Structure 1
Amino acid sequence: MKTAFFQLDIPSTPNDHKILGNVLQGADALAISEIAEQHQHLTVVVTPDTRSAVRLSGILSELSSQEVRLFPDWETLPYDTFSPHQDIISSRLSALFYLQNAKKGIFLLPIATLMQRLCPPQYLQHNVLLIKRSDRIVIDKMRLQLESAGYRAVEQVLEHGEYAVRGSLLDLFPMGSAVPFRLDFFDDEIDSIRTFDVDTQRTLDEIQSINLLPAHEFPTDDKGIEFFRSQFRETFGEIRRDPEHIYQQISKGTLISGIEYWQPLFFAEMATLFDYLPTQALLWIWKQIKHKGSVFIKMQNSVMNNAKRILYVPYCHRNIYG
C-alpha cells in the first residue's frame, strides 16, 4: 500500500463530516489523493465547475494509485436543442457502469452534473451485452441487437455508437470503450475479436470479450419508444399532427437533436447519482458549490421562463434537474 504523506481526520460514520481548511489550488489534489488512500471505499469529489473537475482528474491520474474516473457534464445549455457529443455520452455511460461495481477509487464530477437526473441503474444493468469470442450468433441478429441498443449503421466506423457490416466482418465502436473492435464471423460463430485503428482501419490486438453498453442514456428500442409515446400523451394531452413535431419524429424512430432533455419521458422514474453510489462512499465537496448550484438553478429557470414555445423537456414537475 502507498505510504501517506500525512494523516487526515476523515469521516468514519454515516452523517459525520469534517472541514479541511486553507487548501490551496494544487494542494487540493494531494489532499484528495491522501484521503482516497486512507478511505477503504469509493471517494466522490464534487467540484464547483467542470474546469476544476478536469484539472483534478488530470493531476490525480498521475498522483494517485487509485483508479480515477471523471463523470462529465453534457456541455450543453439547459434545455438546449443540441445533443451532447457521442464521446461525452460514452464517457458518462462508462462512468455509471463503473459505479455499479466500484469498491475503491476516486470519482469526480461538477456540481451542475450532480444536480442532473439520470437513467435508473436498472437500465444499465439490463442493457449491457457481453460479447465473447466463440459466441454463436448470426451476424444479422447482431446487427438488429445493435440497432435496438441505439447504434448507428455507417459505411466506416469513426466514433462511438457506430457499427458497419462488410461481409463476415462487423466493425463496432462500443460506448465506454477507448478503441473500436472488429468481429470476424465464421458462419454463425464469432471467430475473432480484434481492436483496430480508426485512422488506418488496420486491425491491432486480439481480445477475448467486450462489454457492449447502450448507445444512449435512455432506451431507443420499440418498447422504449412506445413508453415515451404513452408518457408524452399523458403529460401534454393533444398531439400535433405536424410530421416535424417531436412526438411524430420519435414515434418513427428519429432521435432529434436535443432529445436528451426529453429523457424523463423514457422512464417511469429518474434516478440521481446517489442511487449509483455504494453505501460507504465518502463525499468531498467544496464550500463554493452551494453558490455555484444556485447560479445554475437560476440559469435553467430563466431558460424555462423565457421560452416562447414548448421546451425540449417535460413540465417542471418532471424536470431533468428537479
Structure 2
Amino acid sequence: MASDLAALNPDAQVMVFPHLEILPYDIIAQGHEVAASRLTVLEALIAPPAPAAGDRRRGRLMIVTPVEALTRRLPPPADLARHRVELSVGKRYDLEELQSSLAMSGHERVEAVETPGQFAVRGGILDLFLLTREQPVRAEFLGDQLESLRRFDPLTQRSTGETDREQVFAASEFLPGPDRAASGMAAISAELARTAAGLDAAGKSLEAEKLRARVEGHLERIAAADMAGLEQYLPYFYGDACMLLDSAGRRAGGL
C-alpha cells in the first residue's frame, strides 16, 4: 500500500508506522526494523526535516498504519522531543553531557558500534549509530568544538561521506524521566499488590507468586532504565499519553 500511495502522491513523503506487538505481562523482542520504522515516523512528526532544494514533497507526510497501531498509546510528543539533539559542525559541546544525553535517550554505550542504537567514545571521537539511520556517523571533536561529521561503514570503518549536521533522536519510545519512573513504578507496585492479594484470597497462591516474580523482575529492569520490551507498562508512566493521531496533528497529510 505504501508504494502505491507514493506512486499516486509524488508530492508527499509516505512512511509506514507498524504495530508494536505487545502481550500483557510478556516481553516480546522487537527487531530494529520495527522500532526504527516507528521512531522514524515519530521523529518526522515531532521535528520535521526541512525539504531539500527542489524536493516537490515540500514536507507533506502520509502515514500508512494498521488500526492496532492507531489505538496504541504513545508518550506525549514533548517527552520524546526532549531527547532531540542537533549536532552541527563548528558548534561547541560538552562531550560528557552529550554521552549522558545519549544514554538517557536509550542508546547503549559499547566499545565499538556494530548495530543501530549504539554509541562509542574514544578520546575526542564519538561514533553514533542512530536507530533511524542506515549507517553510523563519526563526530570528531577538537576540545569541545565539533570539527567534522562523517558517515562510515561499521564493518570496514571507511568513511562514506560527510555531513554538516545530524539530528539525534531517541532510540526508544519508552523513556520516562526520573519523576515519571518513580511514580510509574509506585503505581505498578500498588496494582501488583492488589492483584496478587485478590489471587491469594481466591486460593490461587501459585498464580500470585508467579505474578509477583514476573512483575518484580520487570520493576528491577525499569529501575535500571532498561525499558526494552516493557511498553505494556507505558500507561502507568504517562497520564498524558496520546495516540498517533494526536501526534500527527497538522503535520500529516493523511493516515
What's the TM-score, normalizing by structure 1? 0.62
The question of whether the paired residues in 2 share the 8 Å contact of 1:175 and 1:212 is answered with no
d(CA) in 2 for partners of 1:281 and 1:85?
A: 26
Unaligned runs of 5+ in 2: 49-58, 197-211
Determine if the alignment matches structure 1 residue 112 to structure 2 residue 68.
yes
Q: Which has the higher contact order (CA 8 A, sep 6+)?
A: 2
1:133-282 matched pairs, under 5 angstroms:
133-237=89-193, 245-255=217-227, 258-279=229-250
- Residue 191 of structure 2 aligns with an amino acid whose one-letter code is T
CA deviation map 1:86-109 (0-9, x unaligned): 332222122022124666232111
CA, structure 1 residues 172+275, in 2 after alignment: closer, same or farther (shift >3 Å)? Answer: same
The question of whether the paired residues in 1 share the 8 Å contact of 2:45 and 2:252 is answered with no
CA, structure 1 residues 70+149, in 2 after alignment: closer, same or farther (shift >3 Å)? Answer: same
Instruction: Give the equivalent residue in structure 2 for 1:20.
Output: none
The higher radius of gyration belongs to 1
The question of whether the paired residues in 2 share the 8 Å contact of 1:241 and 1:248 is answered with no
Q: Tell me by how many angstroms 1:259 deviates.
A: 1.1
- Residue 117 of structure 1 aligns with an amino acid whose one-letter code is R
* Partner SS state of residue 245, structure 1: helix
d(CA) in 1 for partners of 2:232 and 2:239?
A: 15
Determine if the alignment matches structure 1 residue 58 to structure 2 residue 15.
no
1:71-86 matched pairs, under 5 angstroms:
71-74=17-20, 76-79=21-24, 80-86=26-32
CA, structure 1 residues 118+280, in 2 after alignment: closer, same or farther (shift >3 Å)? Answer: closer
CA deviation map 1:117-142 (0-9, x unaligned): 11112212322111211221232222
Q: Tell me by how many angstroms 1:71 deviates.
A: 0.8
CA, structure 1 residues 236+269, in 2 after alignment: closer, same or farther (shift >3 Å)? Answer: farther
* Partner SS state of residue 91, structure 1: helix
* Partner SS state of residue 192, structure 1: strand
Instruction: Give the equivalent residue in structure 1 for 2:38.
Output: 92
Unaligned runs of 5+ in 1: 1-55, 285-322
- Residue 225 of structure 2 aligns with an amino acid whose one-letter code is G
> Which among 66, 70, 94 is matched to residue 16 of structure 2?
70
Percent of aligned pairs sharing the same letter: 26
Q: Tell me by how many angstroms 1:146 deviates.
A: 0.8
Q: Tell me by how many angstroms 1:234 deviates.
A: 4.3
Q: Tell me by how many angstroms 1:249 deviates.
A: 2.7
d(CA) in 2 for partners of 1:181 and 1:158?
A: 12
d(CA) in 2 for partners of 1:176 and 1:97?
A: 9
Q: Tell me by how many angstroms 1:235 deviates.
A: 3.5
1:298-309 matched pairs, under 5 angstroms:
none
- Residue 152 of structure 1 aligns with an amino acid whose one-letter code is E
d(CA) in 2 for partners of 1:203 and 1:262?
A: 41
d(CA) in 1 for partners of 2:231 and 2:220?
A: 16
CA, structure 1 residues 247+85, in 2 after alignment: closer, same or farther (shift >3 Å)? Answer: same
Q: Tell me by how many angstroms 1:243 deviates.
A: 10
Q: Tell me by how many angstroms 1:61 deviates.
A: 3.7
Q: How many residues align?
A: 227
CA, structure 1 residues 78+163, in 2 after alignment: closer, same or farther (shift >3 Å)? Answer: same
What's the TM-score, normalizing by structure 2? 0.77
Instruction: Give the equivalent residue in structure 2 for 1:122.
Output: 78
The question of whether the paired residues in 2 share the 8 Å contact of 1:81 and 1:258 is answered with yes
d(CA) in 2 for partners of 1:69 and 1:263?
A: 24
CA, structure 1 residues 191+172, in 2 after alignment: closer, same or farther (shift >3 Å)? Answer: same
CA, structure 1 residues 258+137, in 2 after alignment: closer, same or farther (shift >3 Å)? Answer: same
The question of whether the paired residues in 2 share the 8 Å contact of 1:138 and 1:187 is answered with no
d(CA) in 1 for partners of 2:239 and 2:78?
A: 12
d(CA) in 1 for partners of 2:160 and 2:253?
A: 40
